[in-house]
Each structure stands twice: as C-alpha cells, then as structure tokens.
Amino acid sequence: MAASEGEEHIHNLLKQIALMEIKIKCLKEREIEQKNKASSYETLLKDGIPLNEHFLALKTKYNTDKNKLDAER
C-alpha cells in the first residue's frame, strides 16, 4: 500500500468514526426522549385515576382546541 493510499484509508476511517459518533448522539437523544415519554405514562398510571378518565379529558381538550382553531380561521 503506497503512502497516499494509506493516508486515504486513514482519512476514510476518520470520516466513518465521525459519522458513527453522530449516529450515537442521535440514538442517545432518542433514548432520552423515549424515557421521558415512558415516565409521563407512568405518571398517568400512578395517579389512581382510571385511564378512561384521562382519555376523556384529552378528548375534551382536543375538541376545545380544535374549536378554537376553527373559530380563528
């Protein structure tokens, strides 16, 4: 392997390492987001209120917000 081929090979490896570091960072951010979502679901389950009550409250909030947006248009 000539010197320039070796340097090119090292350069390509460094680019691959940089790409892997970016992918690892994205995966870590996604993991944190998923943990945060899971903790919010756990909160819903721990508060002692039946889930159907939460769904009804979300449905009511959705309808209220939708009506506001429709009125603004």
Query: What Rg value do the Cα atoms of the chain yield, rounded?
Result: 25
| Per-residue confidence (pLDDT) for residue 16, from 0 to 100 | 97
Q: Phi first, then psi: what are they for 2, rounded to 5°?
A: -75, 165
Average pLDDT rounded to a whole number, residues 28-48: 80
Q: pTM of the prediction?
A: 0.49
How many C-beta atoms surround the C-beta of residue 54 within 10 A? Answer: 13
Could you give the percent of the chain with pLDDT greater than 70? 92
